[in-house]
Structure 1
Amino acid sequence: MTVRKYRKRGSPLDHDPEALRWARQHAGLTQQQLADRAGIACSLVRDMENGRRNATPENRARLAGALGCPPMLLERKEPAEGAPVLEVLTMDARR
């Protein structure tokens, strides 16, 4: 029996969920197609994209290989200490 390991709420992720989703969509893949290509469960891909589960270095490498991108693209990026934080404002197109 396999036991799922969920991360503690609030603990930092080793991957960037938004980068994973962007790379998958940019490759034109569904979550199931990516999971099949990477040899992992679709539920794991979904949970990683939603920030509920962490991507291990092995899974990041598998995902990157399936997406045709460097694993570094999927890693979480931390701003350098003291670096200015830029805020991006978006306008609601319906207004």
Structure 2
Amino acid sequence: MPRYFFCLRDENGNLQEDPEGQEFSDLAGAEENAMVSAKEILAEELLRGKPVRTGLAFEILDENHKLVLRFPFAFAAERSGTSLNLELLTFALIACANIPGKP
């Protein structure tokens, strides 16, 4: 199975490399993993009372370390889906609603 590396690019252009990668049958499987992972990261940040960082992106590299897909977190934030742990999302929404200073 092909191995894909999920490097994380932040809003300032800094890149956090993925040294291990993960195996998926195809790029579509890697993209689905990017969607789930991005949603989980966004939800965890909300739980901590931090702003949503939709400027982050996964840069997915193939086994030859060639960029094959750029997956912006904004895409994950805009899409509904059941792949995200529903309990985590519920906690994130409650936490967001209880942030001091928010109407």
Fold shared per TM-score above 0.5: no
Question: With structure 2 as the length reference, what TM-score do the two structures score?
Answer: 0.24
Question: With structure 1 as the length reference, what TM-score do the two structures score?
Answer: 0.25
More helix by share: 1
